[in-house]
Amino acid sequence: MSNETSRKIEKHPWSYREGTIVTGLILLLGFALQAASGGIVLRIAGFPWNLIAGIIFLFLLVLAFYRWKNHPVMKWLGGVKAALPAILGFTFLVLLMGFIKQDVEPKSAPIKLLGLTHLVKTWPYMLINLYLMILLGIATLKRITPFNYKNAGFFLNHFGLFLVLLSTALGSSDIQHVTMNCYENETEHNALDTSGKPVEMPVTIKLLNFNIDEFRPKVTIIDNKTGQIVLNKNKNPFELLDRNTLDIYGYHLEVEQFLESSGKVGDSYVALNEPGSAPSAKVKVTKDGSEISGWVYSGSYVNQPETLKLNENHSLVMLPAEPRKFSSELNIQTQSGKNVTTTIEVNRPFHIDGWTIYQLSYKTEMGRWSNLSVLELVRDPWLPIVYLGIFLMMAGAAFLFITGNPKDGGTKHVA
């Protein structure tokens, strides 16, 4: 750098224009590296190398800040004129992730080359994330010396966000996602990773019982010639059998009898609770003075559904019941000696020894009679640091809300 250029930098600190240029160059460099590498999926090294890399990054950041903290460029990096364009650049990538479906096979060569279907594992995302962490780190260090009451809220906000970005970046390679197929009254300790490879788990799970609560089934009208559902002037073609009378496509239905679980005996259905039994209903259907009565049956993996022919054009069909909720009663044993019996369901996971166990799926073709429960087990050892960062951000927001922004002293907030 020439003496003239150096004097210009010292005399004229950079502004939003330079911030936009730097952010744009980082994104262009990232996409260039991504294209040059053939659209490679990046993966950060796992523990302990990611931890070592994080410590080195923090050391170099602190060293650089205290070595050049009075330099105009360092002051600019810790200010809003660098931060705002960087945030906009990061937001641009987030918007791309919203418009382009992620973690799928790319449909065209340019999308694959730029890594647009896996952006969080690409050079542009990693570089802009690193740049944001540098800016946040410098802005946070500026408020540590001198640290006082006026700087507390700002410090908590920015240091919390810094922790979230750092831990999610470094911890991405340590996250484990596996699925486990558990059959009733059987013990399982093997799972499958995202590539389908078997993984021996440090937990053993026995499925004691699998339960499904179902909604009442829906009915609809189909065309006898095409077998297609008859559409009724943009109205919902399905009606839920949760009441005794209803109207659908000009037909008036009266539910004379409804059986939640049934089987066919002769020409009618009776209540039955054994594998393969399914909902049925005896209905009376009237239209334009004509009347017909009969049974409709939703069918199951054992028995075929039964429809009620209304006339030459239309038939009434009962659809398979949809699950309201499903849950698994599990006995879980760990290598640490824990032995726990618990019940999990969708959105109600169970946490044990660093693992979170989710209710994922079941054997859908068997419906409520499924003897298979599919579980998802997730382990993220960096998650406590993410939670700590979020807590610090909330504490900083609360602090600023209670105390308000200081009217004197300090510098302007970065964000």
**Can you give the residue ranges of every domain in the chain?**
3-175+383-403, 178-213+324-379, 216-321
Q: Are 350 and 331 in contact (CB under 8 A)?
A: no
With a cut of 60, say whether residue 411 has pLDDT above it: no
pLDDT (average), residues 251-270: 94
Please, which residues have CB within 8 angstroms of residue 257's CB and are 6 or more apart in sequence? 281, 282
Q: Tell which residue, 211, 187, 189, has the closest CA to residue 198.
A: 189
Residue 372: strand pairing partners: 183
pLDDT (average), residues 25-49: 91
With a cut of 50, say whether residue 414 has pLDDT above it: no
With a cut of 80, say whether residue 30 has pLDDT above it: yes
pLDDT (average), residues 118-144: 92
What's residue 127's pLDDT? 96
- pLDDT-derived band of residue 3, with 50, 70 and 90 as boundaries? low
What's residue 412's pLDDT? 45
With a cut of 70, say whether residue 84 has pLDDT above it: yes
Distances (CA, A) of 126 to 90, 160, 216: 10, 19, 49
Q: What is the pLDDT of residues 279-327, one digit of tens each?
A: 999 999 999 889 999 999 999 999 999 999 999 999 999 999 999 999 9
Distance CA 4, CA 314 (A): 87
Distances (CA, A) of 124 to 23, 39, 201, 217, 340: 10, 11, 35, 49, 45
What's residue 5's pLDDT? 53
Residue with tokens 């002037």: 233
What's residue 25's pLDDT? 97
What's residue 349's pLDDT? 95
- pLDDT-derived band of residue 130, with 50, 70 and 90 as boundaries? very high
DSSP 8-state assignment for residue 272:
-
| Other Cβ atoms within 10 Å of 324 Cβ, number | 10
Alpha-carbon dihedral angle through residues 264, 268, 269, 275, given to the nearest 10 degrees: 0
Q: Is 24 helix (H, G, I), strand (E, B) or coil?
A: helix
Distance CA 391, CA 176 (A): 24
With a cut of 50, say whether residue 408 has pLDDT above it: no
Sign, CA torsion 96/98/99/102: positive
pLDDT (average), residues 342-350: 94
- pLDDT-derived band of residue 95, with 50, 70 and 90 as boundaries? very high
Q: What is the pLDDT of residues 159-201, one digit of tens each?
A: 999 999 999 999 888 989 999 999 999 999 999 998 889 999 9
pLDDT (average), residues 221-234: 88
Global confidence as pTM:
0.76
| Other Cβ atoms within 10 Å of 122 Cβ, number | 23
- pLDDT-derived band of residue 370, with 50, 70 and 90 as boundaries? very high
Q: Tell which residue, 24, 165, 28, has the closest CA to residue 86.
A: 24
Percent of the chain with pLDDT over 70: 94
CB-count exposure of residue 143 (10 Å: 0-12, 13-18, 19+):
buried
Distance of CA 183 to the CA centre of its chain: 26
- pLDDT-derived band of residue 2, with 50, 70 and 90 as boundaries? low
pLDDT (average), residues 1-11: 52
Distance in Å from the first CA to the final CA of the chain:
31
Please, which residues have CB within 8 angstroms of residue 271's CB and are 6 or more apart in sequence? 259, 261, 262
What's residue 11's pLDDT? 52
Q: Tell which residue, 201, 129, 116, 198, has the closest CA to residue 165.
A: 129
Q: Which helix (H) or strand (E) holds 358?
A: strand 355-362
With a cut of 80, say whether residue 148 has pLDDT above it: no
What's residue 271's pLDDT? 95
With a cut of 80, say whether residue 81 has pLDDT above it: yes
Residue 359: strand pairing partners: 375
pLDDT (average), residues 239-247: 92
